[in-house]
Copies of this chain bind each other. A is one copy, B any other.
Amino acid sequence: MQRNPQLGEDGQLRHLLSIDGLPRDVLVNILDTARSFVSVTEREVKKVPLLRGKSVFNVFFEPSTRTRTTFEIAAKRLSADVINLNVATSSQTKGESLLDTVANLAAMQADMFVVRHASSGAPYLIARHLSQDIHVINAGDGRHAHPTQGLLDVYTIRHFKEDFTKLTVAIVGDLMHSRVARSEIHALTTLGVPEVRVIGPKTLIPPDVQKLGVHVHHDMARGLRGADVVMMLRLQNERMNGALLPSAQEYFKTYGLTPERLLLAKPDAIVMHPGPMNRGVEIDSAVADGRQSVILPQVTFGIAVRMAVMAILAGGG
């Protein structure tokens, strides 16, 4: 059996490439560590010296200001030196290969790479070619994975709901093009969530998703009934070819989360969204800004989760 490339021979986390295949205790350790950092970010001085003198490289082969920012803040609050690199517009255009670019940066004594790439698997390829003491965090690779997003979602659920083993979680929207939904499902299952539902039109639900042990609903009302957690996905307009959906308005009519529809879920259900939101497309503003929305706390917890992952990889967690 092949060893999980994310774990060292001692079972410790060496890279964070995907939530898939992460053992339960590793997941729980990340969540517990993140909790300690939530309190750090609430202090007057929001810094700890855990990564002092370490060099964290944000290597973005595909631009994403928001994601880069979250990692930059996390690293700086751990006192790391942060180097931002948009490689799309630099050495790649000089014809250098991905691996040469990364080997070059590693030779500058990098301690950690935060990698975003349009191609699935690029962070794995990079991780495989680095020496033992350099760590890779996948900040999104194609449609494949975006593990810190998945982790912050799970952290948010645990924060508000505490016990995973009694929850019904409904994931609504474009699962076909979502970087996170699959990993999310895996993490929720691993952490003991008994019922995960996915809701959306046939064109946006991958046919093989049922193999992950989820219940598929094409009817929004039935899917939401009794849910403790409603996770909305972003309708990624830019990824769709137009043939999959009639129109944004039509989508909102059928799958948009309105206050009326939210009444079908449990009264204390929480509403999540990874951002950026398309208000009036997948979510109504009254819900997005409503009392059940935990969309902004997700962002806050996201910083703590990224700090936790970095601290654990650097051996200081």
Which residues 44-76 of A sit at the B interface, judged by CB distance below 8 A?
44-47, 52-55, 63-66, 69-70, 72-73, 76
* Residues on the B chain within 8 Å of A299, using CB: 104, 107-108
Q: How far apart are the CA atoms of A235 and B177 in the complex, in Å?
A: 41
Nearest to A109 among chain B residues (CB) is: B41
* Residues on the B chain within 8 Å of A43, using CB: 53
Instruction: Please tell me which one of the listed residues B52, B65, B91, B108 contacts residue A85 in the complex, with CB atoms under 8 A apart.
Output: B65
Query: Shortest Cβ distance from A167 into chain B, in angstroms?
Result: 24
Nearest to A42 among chain B residues (CB) is: B109
Given A45-B52, A95-B278, A104-B275: A73 and B65 interface contact (C-beta under 8 Å) = no
Task: Give the oligomeric copy count.
Answer: 3
* Residues on the B chain within 8 Å of A303, using CB: 108-109
The answer to whether B63 touches A53 (Cβ under 8 A) is no
The answer to whether B45 touches A109 (Cβ under 8 A) is no
A163 at interface, CB cutoff 8 A: no
Query: Shortest Cβ distance from A122 into chain B, in angstroms?
Result: 18
Which positions in A face B, CB cutoff 8 Å? 41-47, 52-55, 63-66, 69-70, 72-73, 76-77, 81, 83, 85-87, 89-91, 94-97, 100-101, 103-109, 237-238, 275-279, 296-300, 302-303
